[in-house]
Structures are given as C-alpha cells and as structure tokens.
Structure 1
Amino acid sequence: MKRRVELFLIILLPILGLLLLGGKIMNLNKRPDQKVTSSSSKKVVQKSKEEIKKEQIAFLKEHEREIVDYVKAQSPKVESVQIDWDETQMSDGGLTTPEYYMNVFGRINHIENSGWGVDIPMNENGTVNLKNMTMGDFISIDGVPIP
C-alpha cells in the first residue's frame, strides 16, 4: 500500500508542477498591449499597435501635402482633396503580401458621395514609406470611377 502511495505521488507531483507552470505562463501572456523583451540587463517595452497608429497618423498629417498631390495626380478632374483622418487605419497586406500599410481615405472636390483610398507601406522599423504609396481604392463619385 505504501508503495502505491509513493508511485501515485511520483506521478502526480510532476503533473501538478506542469499545470502550475502552464498557468503562470498563460497569466504572463494576457498583456497584449505590451511586450517586454530583455536584452542583457535592459528591459525594452515595445509600443502597442494603437500607439504606433497614432504616431503614423501624426507623421502622415505632417506630410499631408504629398498625399494630396498624389491623389490630384491621378485625374485632371480632381481640384481639391479632403482627407478623413478618422478613417485612417493600419492593416496588413494579407496572406500574399505580409507587409503592413497605412490606409488613408477621403473625398474629392468637396463632393459628399466621392471617395478614394491610398495604401502607404510601412517599413520593417514601423516608419511610413511615402515614396511607394499606391491607390487602394480608385477615385470615384457615387461608386463610379472617374477617369
């Protein structure tokens, strides 16, 4: 009987240890907004996606003229460009293009039912690459593309 108890404890203790360790690891992973990485004796806190997005939008607002000029260059019918900063978002290219983009949207010529979208790729270090922006949504009025 004593031998059975000893075997039971020998089997049960490692299992309990693994369960406790697994619970501790899961508890550490419940902070999606911050990632702490350590390099030597320093701890580095990486920024959350929301903080990165705010920084990128601030950068884009400083370079608004370049975005406006790019949209205007797409059609001679574009006289003015309005950017909807509230609709600006960060996205990835999906399965085929694993890059990250800032998607900027707006209207043209103060027309309520007009629209356009520009995709601006982000470099690996998180900076926006304005030189490689492309039209993600072509310029349209009432859903009809304009030449």
Structure 2
Amino acid sequence: MKKRTKAVIAIVLSILALASLGGYIMSQKRNHQEKTITSSSKRDDKEAIKQKQLAYLKEHEQEIIDFVKAQSPKVESVQIDWDQTQWSDGGLTTPEYYMNVYGRINHIEESGWGVDIPINDDESMDMGGMFMLHEPTIRGEPIG
C-alpha cells in the first residue's frame, strides 16, 4: 500500500508541476504578445507623429523656400526633395531632435542645400529655429 500511495503522490506532484510549468509558459507568451503589441503601438504612434510633422512642413513649404532663397541672391528657385527628409538627433553636444530637409536650387541637378528644423518637446516644429545644415551649392561649390 505504501508503494501505491507514493506512486499516486508522485503522479499528482508531476501533474501539478506540469500545470505550473504550463501556466508559466502561457504567462510568458502573453507578456511577449503584450510587449509586441506595445512596441508595435509605439512604432505606429511615432510614425503617425512623423507624418503629422511632415504634413506641417509641407504646409509651411514657402517659409523653407524663402529661408533658402535668403541665403544668396543667386538662388532664384528652390526645390524641396521631400523623399530625402530625415529625422535626427543633434548628437552628443546637442540632444535636441531635428527634421533635416534637403533640396536643389534653380532646377540644377548637381545643386543642393540642407536645412535643420528643431522639433519641440511637444513634437511640434520650431520654424523660427530653422538653420542651414549646409549652404546652397552647385557641383559641391558654395554659390556665395
């Protein structure tokens, strides 16, 4: 009888151990799914913010054009390449975030310019803080 009781106890303990292990595995899967959903939501939120920022800049395109034109009287027209727009941080010395906007001048393929526009803490754009990332150039040479 003692052998039988020990066997039953061993079986019951094994079942309890497997049930506990199964519960642990299920909770880990659920936590992983929640983290994945949260990460996905954060990515979606960041992407939505970026799209709003880009839309805002497109609405204020003329301000960017006027700013680039003001850099040199030789700039007659400004073309913005929205596909090259980037989001970046300032690096080690300046922790601010920026949108980098690039384009060409005077419809010249080998020309270029770059403007940084600061992003405020509330994710809005600081058009007043806009500055030249690199001055207008043609074939790599400043146009002066």
Q: CA RMSD in A?
A: 2.6
Moved more, 104-113 or 54-63: 54-63
Question: How far, CA to CA, are the matches of 1:3 and 1:138 in structure 2?
Answer: 81
Instruction: Compute the TM-score of the two structures, normalised by the length of structure 1.
Output: 0.73
Instruction: Compute the TM-score of the two structures, normalised by the length of structure 2.
Output: 0.75
Deviations 1:97-120 (CA, angstroms, capped at 9, x unpaired): 333222111111111110111111
Contact preservation (8 Å) 1:92, 1:98 = no
Which has the larger share of helix? 2
Q: Which residue of 2 aligns with 1:34?
A: 41
Larger radius of gyration: 2
Contact preservation (8 Å) 1:100, 1:121 = yes
Question: How far, CA to CA, are the matches of 2:131 and 2:8 in structure 1?
Answer: 75
State whether structure 2 residue 12 is matched by structure 1 residue 19. no
Higher relative contact order (CA 8 A, sep 6+): 2
Contact preservation (8 Å) 1:33, 1:49 = no
Contact preservation (8 Å) 2:90, 2:98 = no
User: Cα distance, 1:125 vs. partner?
Assistant: 1.5
Question: How far, CA to CA, are the matches of 2:83 and 2:91 in structure 1?
Answer: 26
Distance 1:95 1:8, change over 3 A: farther
Contact preservation (8 Å) 2:79, 2:107 = yes
**Which runs of structure 2 are paired with 1:1-147 in the superposition (5 Å)?**
16-31=22-37, 32-35=39-42, 48-89=45-86, 91-93=87-89, 95-96=91-92, 97-147=94-144
Which has the larger share of strand? 1
Question: How far, CA to CA, are the matches of 1:8 and 1:82 in structure 2?
Answer: 72
Distance 1:15 1:121, change over 3 A: farther
Question: How far, CA to CA, are the matches of 1:7 and 1:95 in structure 2?
Answer: 57
Percent of aligned pairs sharing the same letter = 49
Question: How far, CA to CA, are the matches of 2:10 and 2:142 in structure 1?
Answer: 79
